[in-house]
Amino acid sequence: MKATPSWVRSSYSSQDGGNCVEWCPSVAADTGIVPVRDSKVSAGPSLALSRGAWAGLVRYAKATVV
C-alpha cells in the first residue's frame, strides 16, 4: 500500500489563506511529474507539470514577487 502523498505549501503563500499554492515533492521524486494545486481546494483538481515547467514557474514567481 502506497503512502498518501504529502503536499507542501509554498513559502510565498500567506498564512491567512490567501494565494496558497501547494506541490507534492514525493510524487515528483517518484514520477518526474510535479503536481500543483490550490490549497484552499485540496479535494479539487491539480496541475501536472514537468520538472522543467515547474522550475520555470518557480523562477517566474521569484522574479515577480513584490
Which residue, among 18, 19, 24, has the nearest Cα to 5 in the 3D structure?
Answer: 24
pLDDT in tens, 17-47: 566 889 999 999 999 999 999 988 888 899 9
Nearest-angstrom CA–CA distance, 17 and 27? 24
Residue 15 in this model has a pLDDT that exceeds 70: no
Q: In the numeric block, which cell numbers belong to residue 50?
A: 514537468
Nearest-angstrom CA–CA distance, 14 and 30? 28
Residues in the chain, how many? 66
pTM value?
0.74
What is the residue extent of each domain of the chain?
8-64
Nearest-angstrom CA–CA distance, 66 and 64? 6
